[in-house]
Copies of this chain bind each other. A is one copy, B any other.
Amino acid sequence: MRKKIRSANWSVGEVAKRSGVNVSTLHFYEEKGLIHASRNSGNQRRYFKDVLRRIAVIKAAQKVGISLTEIKQALSFLPTSHAPNKSDWERLSKQWRADLEQRIKDLTALKDKITGCIGCGCLSLKACPLYNPNDHLGQQQSGAVLLNSSDE
C-alpha cells in the first residue's frame, strides 16, 4: 500500500483566482498563520488544494463577524501536516457551534427587540425591551450597565 503523495502545485495566483481573494491577502493570511504553503526551488509558494477549504471557512466566518484571531484559533484544530480528516473537522465544528449558536441568539434577540419596539411604540422607556440591561445583548465588552434610566 503506497502512500498517496499530496500534490502541492498551485501557485498564489492560481489560489487567488480559485478562491477569489487577492494574492496580497494570501500573503497576509500566511503571515498571520491562517494558511500555509510550501515553497518550490525558486522560493515561490505552492499550495495544497485544502487551502481552498481553509479560505472558505475564513471567509464564511468573517462574514458573520468572527475575527481572524478567533478563526485562527478554530483553524488551529486542523492539522497542517495532513489534509483534515473527519475527527479534525469534528473538533473544529464542536468549538464553533456553541459560539455560532450564541451569535444566532444575539441576533434573534436584537431582531425581536426591534420588532417589539413597534408594539411598545418606545413611548415608555421603562417598557422598551432595548432598555433591559439584564440580557446578553445589554452586556457589552465594557461590562457596564447600559441604559440605566431609573431617573427618567
Instruction: Give the interface of A toward B (CB within 8 A).
Output: 18-21, 49, 52-53, 55-57, 59-61, 63-65, 84-86, 89-90, 92-93, 96-97, 100-101, 103-104, 106-108, 110-111, 113-115, 117-118, 121-123, 125, 128, 130-131, 137-138, 140, 142-149, 152
Give the chain B neighbours of A142 by CB distance below 8 A. 20-21
A111:B100 contact, CB within 8 angstroms: yes
Copies in the complex: 2
Bound form: Cα–Cα A100–B52 in Å: 28
Give the chain B neighbours of A61 by CB distance below 8 A. 110
Interchain nearest-CB distance for A105 vs B (Å): 10
Give the chain B neighbours of A60 by CB distance below 8 A. 110, 113, 130, 137-138
